Amino acid sequence: MTAPSRGPAVLSLSLDQQLAASPGTDRVNIGDTLTRHRQYAERLDGLHVLVRSNAGASLRRLDDRLELGPRLWSYPFAVSGRWRYPAAAYRLGKELLRTTPIDVITAQDPFLTGLVGWLLARRHGLPFNLQIHFDILDNPYWLLERPVNLALHVLAHWLVRRADTVRVGTTREHRKLCGYGLAPERVTVAPVPVDLTRFVSPNGRLLRDALLAGRFTRLVLWVARLVPQKDGKTLLKAAARVVKERPQTRFVLVGQGPQERALRAYAAKLRLGDHVHFAGAVDHQAVVAYFSACDVLALSSLYEGTALVLLEAAAAQRPTVATDVAGAEDVIQEALSGFIVPIRGDAALADRLNVILDSGRLARTMGRRARDHVRERFQPEVLLERLIDLWTRTASQ
């Protein structure tokens, strides 16, 4: 019996800290990152990941690499400062490529990992795949977020035009890159494959009762890092509109971040009181119960890629009201499984939340449609094979 063919040997440039620690440590076991990379490696001749380590772990020589699974190796290296990363990663990549057969190089973003990946590919005559996981190209919200983004934006445009292939997570990004003149076959929509089975039938009744606190009847969930990208102020403005008309509603904000103090102060300014509950950081496993406990998920982001929370809510059979970010149109069937509203449109966000909150029957119907749509469109096996096929096609160029 002939063994199934595998994809190429891949060198990946990454910043994911979950690949920078030895197996068995907490950093590796958070979320799906390690599992996902093991699944990639099973389908490849080898997956070698150069990853910047912020935890202090660093290779002394290539033989000290971490074996994270069959045909999956991580090469963590420590470097201080963003701008020292390219030189350190390039040196390590050159050393690796002298001793290890590699068929294609991929980079996880169109910034410094992308620059290093392109330089290594050019030096060694290898094809180069660039990955873009957020809608950042010509995105005014991202451009204004930090001064350095202007320089990174120029670099991203330069790299996109030089990559042999580009992986994006959403159909909107695909349209945008084709609009820049890239041939459609060079751009592949391949969202990150995620196992959503744990969201299918969780029991959130006890948590729901605790959050309702005997005085509320409806729960709106918001799961996000408390950072500018997620636009918590728009969410709170919408909350003020909702509770003014429907005082039985409570908003539960799950997450932590540098804007927490400012958002708490803003909620107090809006006199939201107990109508807003800051739940803080919630473990990746425990957050499942929050989706089960809520009536609807709200997403108020300024920009996204494929927002994982939209997929998780759909898997839990919960409708969503989301701002018009990249990825929303791929996950939400407008007026069937949820609603898409303008970015920073707190009035529209509140209005659509009210539509769902006013009808438990509508919420349940939308939730079932959301689940069915995500099951069909975001099958992990299909997305895994799509990425492996992309790397295989790239290696043949």
Q: pLDDT, tens digit, for every residue of 106-117?
A: 999 999 999 999
Tens of pLDDT, residues 17-40:
888 876 655 443 434 889 999 999
Displacement of CA 276 from its chain's centroid (Å): 25
What does the mean pLDDT of the chain come to? 94
Letter string b/e over residues 214-234, b meaning 16 or more CB atoms within 10 A of that residue's CB: eebebbbbbbbebbbbbbbbb
Q: What is the mean pLDDT of residues 94-99?
A: 96
Lowest mean pLDDT among 167-171, 280-284, 289-293, 383-387: 280-284
DSSP tally for the chain: helices H, then strands E:
16, 14
**3-state class (DSSP) for residue 359:** coil
**DSSP string of 132-146?**
E-S--TT-HHHHTT-
Q: Are 28 and 53 in contact (CB under 8 A)?
A: no
What share of the chain in percent tops pLDDT 90?
86
Tens of pLDDT, residues 188-210:
999 999 999 999 888 899 999 99
pTM of the complete model? 0.94
pLDDT at 393 over 60: yes
**What's the pLDDT at 83?**
85
pLDDT-derived band at 86, boundaries 50, 70, 90: very high
Residue corresponding to tokens 């659509």: 352
Residue corresponding to tokens 């790397």: 391
Query: How many Å apart are CA 92 and CA 338, to the nearest integer?
Result: 47
Domains, in order of start, for the chain: 7-194+379-395 (3.40.50.2000), 197-377 (3.40.50.2000)
What share of the chain in percent tops pLDDT 70?
96
> Cβ of 351: how many Cβ atoms within 10 Å?
16
pLDDT at 292 over 50: yes
Tens of pLDDT, residues 240-262:
999 999 999 999 999 999 999 99
**What's the pLDDT at 381?**
95
**What's the pLDDT at 4?**
56
Terminus-to-terminus CA distance in the chain, angstroms?
A: 30
Q: Are 341 and 296 in contact (CB under 8 A)?
A: no
> Cβ of 266: how many Cβ atoms within 10 Å?
17
pLDDT at 2 over 70: no
